[in-house]
Structure 1
Amino acid sequence: MDHVAVLALFDRDMREGARPDAPDARVERVGKVVRQVGAERGWNGVIWSDLDEAGADAAIAEQVRYFSDLGREFEWKLYGHDKPEDLGHRLRTAGFTAEPEETLMVAELGDLTLDAEPPEGVRLLPVTDRAGVDLVAEVHEQAFGTDGTRLRHQLLAQLTGDADTVVAVVALAGDAPVSAARMELLPGTRFAGLWGGGTVESWRGRGIYRALVAHRARVAAERGYRYVQVDASSQSRPILARLGFQPLTTTTPYVYTR
């Protein structure tokens, strides 16, 4: 993989040329910033910027004013190659809080082996309705220890608004949800985004996460996507590397709360 070329393609497709990730969201291009404005419980934030030292602080202040006037908490999604080099420091100075750094990992679907299956006694259930969304949110809360309200709202809006743009799946051991994940498929892009892969603690280390990655990647390949991308945590990065994903850069969410 040509890392520089694929990263540039990712920036064009998924950031500078971003599409809304939900029916009730819109993407706005204002000066040298691309932002998504979502519902109050949806994702709001800056997706891409092309800033220099002279204009960075003013651009940050403008986004803070804009989202504050809307009454929205928002995220500035900072990548390791974004400019200026001290943009993270400038965001912290402006009142943003940095969440844990992740790694942008990408794989070309033609290079992946996609035959991983869940362990015996575990089955994968496609999520198509509110009951399935509730199972995904339940896993999310158990696996990550965070509230699943925003995820529940976003996933339900996607499924009811345009089901072709999202694939969600939950792993069941008997009737108990033990792992879940989703994939976003935005028309006109070459990247399918893998999100939210999480397994409850007692079921980790059994290959379920790997099976969920393979399942979603097979769907992406069938629908004609060339690449799959993941914002990988330190826990998932080794698994993804063994599957053939390659690190391109880091990504850090900077969150601004009113």
Structure 2
Amino acid sequence: MSEEPAALLTAYDDQLRERAEFHGAREVVRHGPLWWGIFSHGGFCSYRDLAGAEGSDVDELVRATVAHFREQTGVERFEWKTRGHDAPADLPERLVAQGLVAEERETVMIGEATGLAVPVQVPDGVSIRRAGEGGDLLDDVRRASAMQESVFGMGRGSDPEELARQVADVAGGGLWLAEADGEVVSAGRLTVVPGTEFAGIWGGSTLPEWRGRGIYRALTAARAVAALGLGVRYIHSDCTDMSRPILERSGLVAVTTTTPYIWTRD
């Protein structure tokens, strides 16, 4: 029996915030309830909660964060990750007032891996496999990245060589491809979160002419099977409004929303 959304949200808050979000950061600094980290792609700010801060106390946390990344790091931008169920309710307005810009809101989806690991019918001629199994890993990653850029736009795909290094570690997850006549028509990653019961599914994309045929659901199922083999209990993803119905059909449940607020150096 699947868990209720409230229980899934509790697991999310307990396991996927703070320390788990900063795995792989080259530098982490604590400031009150905040965690500040620096990654290869820039700075990142998150927290479990703001310890009841309101009003001017929140403004001071935002000012301190901007000052830290502006004056003490060389990053060009940082993300303050908000969640829809967090307090205070006026945090978004306070972030904008200090120069941060909201990006697209996404829905946090969670489901038990056992519920997702089910057979899914795909069209004749379509095959699904893990990148590097039955093919060259770097070539698989390059072709998947090119497909992703064709869907999301140039510059939106992952760096192929960096991604190949990441997915080479089987215990850390991997990249799955759906192919038809040698063409990558859909792809998505699985990333196990160290020290938790979770793995994330990310980067999911399907060529427009192949959508609505069960292919992405099959990719989700294949990743769930792999996750179970790695001891994972929960699958999670931050998804757009376009992806949400697909993940809901796969068995994930919406538990909250998340909106990145971005600061960029002048």
* TM-score of the superposed pair, with normalisation by structure 1: 0.88
Q: Does 1:224 align with 2:231?
A: yes
CA deviation vs aligned residue, 1:70-127 (integer Å, no higher than 9, x gap): 2232211111012211111111112222112111111112333521143222222422
Q: Which runs of 5+ in 1 are unaligned?
A: none
- Paired amino acid for 1:37: I
User: 1:165, 1:91 → 2: CA distance?
Assistant: 34
1:143 to 134, 151, 156: 151
Q: Which moved more, 1:146-155 or 1:223-232?
A: 146-155
User: 1:15, 1:77 → 2: CA distance?
Assistant: 10
- Paired amino acid for 2:4: D
1:123 match? 127
Q: CA deviation at 1:233?
A: 1.3
What SS does the aligned partner of 1:82 have?
Answer: coil
1:210/1:158 CA distance change after superposition, 3 Å: same
Instruction: Map residues 1-258 of structure 1 onto 2, 5 A cutoff.
Output: 1-22=3-24, 25-39=26-40, 42=41, 44-51=43-50, 52-53=53-54, 54-68=56-70, 69-128=73-132, 129-148=137-156, 150-152=158-160, 154-159=162-167, 162-258=169-265
Q: CA deviation at 1:197?
A: 0.5
CA RMSD of aligned residues (A): 2.2
1:152/1:31 CA distance change after superposition, 3 Å: farther
CA contact (8 A) 2:191 2:201 kept: yes
User: 2:259, 2:237 → 1: CA distance?
Assistant: 13
User: 2:122, 2:30 → 1: CA distance?
Assistant: 42
What SS does the aligned partner of 1:34 have?
Answer: strand
* TM-score of the superposed pair, with normalisation by structure 2: 0.86
Taking only the aligned residue pairs, the percentage that are identical comes to 37
- Paired amino acid for 2:99: G
Q: CA deviation at 1:151?
A: 4.6
User: 2:118, 2:244 → 1: CA distance?
Assistant: 17
- Paired amino acid for 2:46: I
Between Structure 1 and Structure 2, how many residues are aligned? 254
1:184/1:35 CA distance change after superposition, 3 Å: farther
CA contact (8 A) 2:173 2:227 kept: no
- Paired amino acid for 2:5: H
User: 1:131, 1:111 → 2: CA distance?
Assistant: 32
User: 1:217, 1:3 → 2: CA distance?
Assistant: 19
Q: Which moved more, 1:224-233 or 1:147-156?
A: 147-156
